[in-house]
A = this chain, B = another copy of it.
């Protein structure tokens, strides 16, 4: 799905890229409405009222890490009438077409990351917050030997942080 599919990826391929494009929209105009519209069209999803609104919330302000519940709350706050089921559906659809990335960190809730480029995360154990690791050079010195017949689909790394007491 990305550049991590080679049998023997180099360390550079594994590392985060630092700055990530927020989406795969063919051309970003800066106009949220136009951009989200095009983003949806380009993956074959109808730009409905709720998908437009959710897309706006998701991709309108840089890289974000949200759970379905969080996005639902935001939508309600923003006076966007949408149901939690639709939020789940939309997040899953966007993930399926590669516009979002799912991150599992604590078994319970699932986070969706709007940054789909190869990168890793900090997880704040206290606040359950997920943050992209800013250091673009965090990388593996050596990629493990992959078992015969398999290839690397993706590498997920989570650096769990706790407050110094």
Contacts and interface: CB of A to CB of B under 8 A. Distances in A.
Given A110-B107, A138-B142, A157 B160 contact: no
Interface stretch (A23-31, A34-42, A147-155): A147-155
A164 B151 contact: yes
Contacts of A163: 149-151
Interface string A124-155: 11000000011101111111111101111111
B141 A164 contact: no
Interface in A95-140: 102, 104-107, 110, 120, 122, 124-125, 133-135, 137-140
Interface of A: 7, 11, 102, 104-107, 110, 120, 122, 124-125, 133-135, 137-147, 149-164
B156 A144 contact: no
A20 B101 CA distance: 32
A105 to B, nearest CB: 6
A157 B142 CA distance: 13
Given A162-B151, A164-B151, A141 B144 contact: no
A8 to B, nearest CB: 13
Contact of A139 (B122, B142, B151, B164): B142
A122 B102 contact: no
Given A141-B141, A143-B138, A156 B157 contact: yes
Contacts of A120: 144
13 contacts: A104-B105, A104-B107, A107-B107, A107-B110, A137-B142, A139-B140, A141-B141, A146-B159, A151-B164, A154-B160, A155-B157, A155-B160, A157-B157
